Amino acid sequence: MKLPFRSAQMRARILTGWLLASLLLTTVVSGQGTAPQTTATLSAAESKASARVRVETLREVTTALSDKAMEGRGTAQAGGERAAKYIADKFKQLGLKPLGDAGGYLQAVRFRSTEVSSETSLKVGDDSFMLGEDFVPAPPFTADKNPASAPLVIVGYGVTSEALKRDDLAGVDVKGKVVMVLRGQPKNVSAAQWAQEANLRAIAGNLIGHGVAGIIYANASTPQASYKEIADYLVRRNVALADAPAAPFKLPPIMLVSDAAANKMLAGTGTTLAELLAKAETGESVSREVSKAVAMEVTVKREQVTGSNVVGVLEGSDARLKSEAVVYTAHYDAFGITSSGKIYPGAADNALGVGELVSIAEAFTKSSPRPRRSMIFLAVTGEEYGLLGAEYWTKNPTWPLEKIAADLNFDGIGTEVYAPVKRIVGFGAEYSDLGPVMKEVLDATGMILTADPLPEEGVFYRSDHYAFVRKGVPSLMLLGGPEGETSKWIMRAQAWMATDYHQPGDIVRPDWNWDGARTVSVIGMLIGLRVANQEAMPRWLPSSPFNRARGAGEPPPSEKK
C-alpha cells in the first residue's frame, strides 16, 4: 500500500490507526440505494468455486515473489522484471489468455528513475557531514548537479506573513545565502492558521522568492516520524512515469539535517538547536547571520527505464456479457535492491496480495461453469511510487474501460495472516452498490463487514483501485482482520510497522496463518463472481462523489488527494 511521499512519514500512524480501529469496530455497512438482487447464502456453484481456492498456491506465490532471487521486485529493476515474468508464467499455466502488449502477458511501462548519488555533499565551516546519517536532500530534484556555496544565515521558521504579523527575514540579508530553517511553530499561534500560512510550500516559496542560494531544514523530525525514518525514504531510488511533467523551474538545493548535525553546525555560535527552538516557540526572533561558510551539492543519477504490468483474462461464458469484465488487481512491486545490496522483500506488502490474486485466478480457471462476464487479472508495478502501474493501465487500457464492471483490489500490511480472519474492511463499499453485494457475501460466509474506520485519513485513495475510481469504475479494496483477542494483534501490528514496514524485515514468517489469507481470497472471489453473473454492471450511488461514467475524464481538483 502506498502513500505519496508528502505523507509517507505519516503512513505508519495511519495504517496502525486503521488496524486498531478495524479490529475493534464491528460497524456493518448497510445496504444503500438500489442494490442488485443477491442472496445471503452460497449457491452450490459458489461453494464449489470457493473450495478451489488453495492455500498451497497462496503460499507458493507469496514465498517465491519475496525470495531473495526476486531482489525486492523493484519497479523497472531486474528483480522486478523477473517477478513479472514469474507471474506471467503462472497466468499461462492457468490458461488465462494474454492481455498485454503484442499478444503477451506483459504491458511495458516506461519510467524515469532518479537516485541520489553518493557524490551529494554538505560541508559547514570545517565540518563535513555524512549523507543519510547527518543530512539528506529533499525532492524535487530539478538539476542533475545542484551546488551552492555561501554564508549561513539562521531564519527562524522562515515565515513572512501579514496574517501572522510575522517576518522572520527582517533584519537579515538572505539573498545569495544558505539559510537554516527551524521546523515547528510558536505556541501563541493556532495550528490551523500556522498550517495555512507556514506550510513547507509557503516557507520554501518565500525563501526562494527572496533569492536564497540553498535551504537547510533543522529539527526535521515530526510527531509521526523521526529524521532517520524520513531520511530512509528520501535516499531511496524513486521513479515516475516517463511522460510525467518535469518541474518548470530550477530550485536551489534543499536538505534536511539531523539534530546532531544541526548542533554541530551551530557549534561556536553561542547557541544550540534546543535553545533556538525554545526561543522561537515563545515568538522571539532568532534570525541571525552566522560566520560560517556552507558548501552543499545535490547530485542525482537519472535513467530512462522500462517496467511491466502483467495482465491475463479468463473469457466469460455468456455471449452477451463476456465483452464486459471484472478486474482483480494487486501490485507486485516493492522497493527492490539498493546499490549497496539491501533488499526489500515486500512479503506482506504486497507479495501476499499477488498470491491472493493468483489463487483466485486458479479457482476460476478450474471451476465450471465459468463466470458470465470475463475476469481480468492485473498485477501492476510502480504502486509504491504513487499507483503508477495502475494509472498507466487505466490510461492505456488493454480492455475498454466502459466495459469494466468493477475493480477488486488486494493490498495491505498482512493482518490476514495473523490468525483466522473474521472481519473484512471493504474500502469503497459505501460509494457504490458493490457494498450491498459484499455485505451479502460476508453474511453468507459468516464474516463481519466493517466500514472504513478512518475515512478522514483517506486510505481509500492510496492503492491501485483508486486509479480505476478516477476513471469512473466502481471499486473495492479488501483487507482482512483476525478473529480473537484484539490486544495481541494490535501489539503485533505496531511492532511490524515499527521494524518491518517497507524494510528488509518484511519477509514470510513461519507463524503466518495462510487460512486467513485464503479467507480474504475466497471473499474477493465470491464478490467478483456475483458481479460477473448479475445482469447489470455495478453502479455508483447517486450520492457518491465519484459518480461518473466509466472511462470519464479526471475528477475535479476537490476530489484529488
- pLDDT tens series, the chain, 561 aa: 654 343 443 444 444 444 444 444 444 444 444 445 556 799 999 999 999 999 999 999 999 999 999 999 999 999 999 999 999 999 999 999 999 999 999 999 999 999 999 999 999 999 999 999 999 999 999 999 999 999 999 999 999 999 999 999 999 999 999 999 999 999 989 999 999 999 988 999 999 999 999 999 999 888 778 999 999 999 999 999 999 998 888 999 999 999 999 999 999 999 999 999 999 999 999 999 998 999 999 999 999 999 999 999 999 999 999 999 999 999 999 999 998 999 999 999 999 999 999 999 999 999 999 999 999 999 999 999 999 999 999 999 999 999 999 999 999 999 999 999 999 999 999 999 999 999 999 999 999 988 776 676 678 899 999 999 999 999 999 999 888 777 888 888 888 988 999 999 999 999 999 999 999 999 999 999 999 999 999 999 999 999 999 998 666 544 544
CA-CA distances (angstroms) from residue 42 to 268, 356, 396?
Answer: 75, 20, 36
Q: For residues 327 and 321, what is the distance between their CA atoms, to the nearest angstrom?
A: 14
- Alpha-carbon Rg of the chain, whole angstroms? 25
**402: three-class secondary structure by DSSP:** helix
Would you call the peptide bond into 140 cis, given omega within 30 degrees of 0 as the criterion?
Answer: yes
Is residue 64 within a helix (H) or strand (E), and if so which, with residue range? helix 55-65
* pLDDT of 37: 52
**Domain residue limits, the chain:** 5-112+303-533, 115-301
Task: Assess whether the region 5-112+303-533 and the region 115-301 belong to the same CATH fold.
Answer: no
* pLDDT of 113: 97
Q: For residues 520 and 135, what is the distance between their CA atoms, to the nearest angstrom?
A: 42
115-301 CATH pick, 2.40.270.10, 3.50.30.30, 3.90.1210.10, 3.40.50.10680: 3.50.30.30
CA-CA distances (angstroms) from residue 125 to 215, 254, 267?
Answer: 16, 18, 10
**Which residues are CB-neighbours of 24 under 8 A, at least 6 positions away?**
486
pTM, two decimal places? 0.91
Q: For residues 559 and 405, what is the distance between their CA atoms, to the nearest angstrom?
A: 22
* pLDDT of 3: 43
* pLDDT of 19: 44
Q: For residues 64 and 56, what is the distance between their CA atoms, to the nearest angstrom?
A: 12
Q: Which sign, positive or negative, has the C-alpha torsion 510, 516, 520, 522?
A: positive
* pLDDT of 386: 94
* pLDDT of 484: 77
Q: Are 119 and 297 in contact (CB under 8 A)?
A: yes
Q: Which CATH architecture has domain 5-112+303-533?
A: 3-Layer(aba) Sandwich (3.40)
Position 88: which residue type?
Answer: A
Q: Which sign, positive or negative, has the C-alpha torsion 148, 154, 157, 163?
A: negative
> Which residues on neighbouring strands pair with residue 162, listed in sequence order?
none
Q: What is the dihedral of CA 66, 71, 73, 75, to 10 degrees?
A: 160
* pLDDT of 26: 44
448-450 and 421-427 as β-strands: parallel, antiparallel, unpaired? parallel
- Residue pointed to by grid coordinates 521546523: 183
The length of the chain in residues reads 561
> Where would I find the H helices in 341-500?
352-365, 388-395, 434-445, 465-469, 486-499
